[in-house]
Amino acid sequence: MTNKINIAIIQFPGSNTERETLMACRRVGLNPVEFLWNEPAEKLSDFDGIIIVGGFAYEDRSRAGVIAALDPIMKQIKLEAKNGKPVLGICNGAQILVESGLVPGLANHRVGIAITDNKRVKDGHVLGVGYYNTWANLQLTASAGRCTFTRHLKTGDFINVPLAHGEGRFIIPHELLEKMITNEQTVFRYCDNNGIISDEFPTNPNGSMHNLAAVCNPKGNVMAMMPHPERTENGDTIFSSMKDYIENGNPISSHTLSFDRPHYEVKNYESNGDSTEWIIEMIITDNEAASVHNALNHLGFDVSITRQTHWEISTDGERDSILQKIDKTGELYNSNKEFISQTTSAKNTASFLVRQKEDMIGRAKFESLTERFEIDGISEIKRGVIWNVTVNSGNLENVLGNLLDTHILFNPLSHECYRIN
């Protein structure tokens, strides 16, 4: 390496904002170098800093960021962060930092927070869910020198940058959030054009708790940021601050963070006898299940994975007639590549039903069926995913317990998980 300040631009399969990130780094005098996820990870020790770019790593399979968070390269990134190097995760990169436990920075990189589906709320009503693309104001609410990436800003300053994501809503346990606020780890919050912070859409574009747009680790050298500062010169202070931090010898703070999150207990599933359950299976290859299968195999689990979609349909009218109408819409499954099946009963196999605690997809499907298709008699639609885990070797319950601890199937802060069999 030369005397230049070299920044590794980490690209996973599906990353797509490396060009904008390269340009932003060059504008402030940094030397960005594209670094693929499958290159020798130890080469990262030659770099002065790391940026994990946005996009859709591994196509957001299972959920955004989790497959990449379990990739071997993340072990080296954790080591570089521990040594004080700056690590910035933008959008999908932020999701990866959250799922890897690099933020908020609990002991042993335990997962402490979640980034989940958007929810646009105004006057107590949900106006929309899912992907949203806009410009947003981000106000610095921590001390300017508290975080590596804010050294060229002042507390109260706000920058106007674009955002584009479907899963950008921070969820944090209240006790942990209070500790992070006290610790000045809640770096940027969404505000309006006058700098006023309001938990209403459009000021808060995704329903994020505490209007959070970016959070950092206790030392301040790792930041997860959902909006895209690299896409505009308005965000250049993020990168120039990173440069300043490196030039001054990576002066990390001595802050710490502790939080004892209760262990999540997977409950046995009890079906609602008054509702209808559709178990949807794919005719074509399920790439999402294949990615989870491969990731677990790389982690040393001798398991096989399949996946099904689970719909729970509650009605208050003539059930058969209502179900026929729903079936004809194609809203809940695509008959060209999916079919209604049943839960598996294979040997050495356990099935887990995973649902969002706030089921945005189920809500959206309910609204589509009742408003767009004008089907009467539907009272509720719930959507979930069934993960079927076949243990090929080892003690079934021990393997399942260790597998669930990876959080690859669900994040306990944003999901509910039930064991079906």
276: alpha, beta or left? (left if phi > 0; alpha if psi -120 to 50): beta
Q: Which of 20, 80, 91, 415 is catalytic?
A: 91
277 included as an active-site residue? no
What lies within 8 Å, CB to CB, of 107 at 6+ separation is: 258
Active site annotation includes 109: no
Catalytic residue among 228, 310, 407, 415: 228
CB 348 within 8 A of CB 391: yes
Active site residue 80: no
Cβ atoms of 31 and 25 within 8 Å: the answer is yes
Measure the CA–CA gap between 215 and 139, rounded to whole angstroms. 12
Catalytic entry in 80, 230, 288, 312? 230
Active site residues: 91, 228, 230
